[in-house]
Amino acid sequence: FRFDTKRAGVLCAFVPFSTVFYLELWKLLDRRWPLQIARQSAAKAMTSSVIGGSLMTASFFAFVAVGQTAIHRSTAVPAAASAGRGTEQATIVCEDSAPLLPLHRVGIEAVQEKWAPAMQIGGGFWFVCNFCNFQFAPPSMRILIMSGQSLFWNTLLSLMQA
C-alpha cells in the first residue's frame, strides 16, 4: 500500500462540493416533509438516495477521473522530439500508448463505467443511512453523522476508482 498525496488531494477537494449540495438538499426535504416520523423520513431518505446519490456518485467519479488524469498529465515526462527541421518540439510521454482523451471524455467514461455498479451497492446502503439520519438525528447533527457514514462510503468508492 502506498499513500498517494495527489490522489488524496483530489478526493478531499470533492468534499466541500458534496457537503454544500447535501445541506441544501436536506433543507428542501425538511421543508417538504417537516416531521420526524417514519413515513416522512422514508420519503426524505428515498429522495436523498435516488436524486442526491445519483448526482453525487456521477459527480464523484467524473471529478476524480478528471482530477487524477490532469495530475497524471501534468507530471508526465516531457521528451524532446525532433520535428525534422532542426527544431525541438515538446511532447508528452505516457506510460501507455493509448491516445490522450480530452478531460471531459475521461470524466464521461468514468461515469459510464462505474456509476451503475456503485448505485447498485450504494442504493441500499444510503437509503438506510439517510433513513436513520432523518428519523433519529436532529438537523444540526446530520452532517456530523453523515460524515462518519461517508468515510466508509468514500473508502469504498476510492477502491472502485483505483
Cα separation, 92 vs 123, whole angstroms: 41
The tens digit of pLDDT for each residue in 39-83 reads: 999 999 999 999 998 999 899 889 989 998 888 888 765 554 444
Q: Helices 53-74 and 5-32 meet at what angle, rounded to 10?
A: 160
Q: Measured between alpha carbons, how far is 59 from 18 in angstroms, rounded to an integer?
A: 9
Burial profile 70-96: b = 16 or more Cβ within 10 angstroms, e = fewer: eeeeeeeeeeeeeeeeeeeeeeeeeee
* pLDDT tens-digit series, residues 86-122: 444 444 444 554 567 788 889 999 999 999 988 888 8
Q: Full-prediction pTM beyond 0.75? A: no
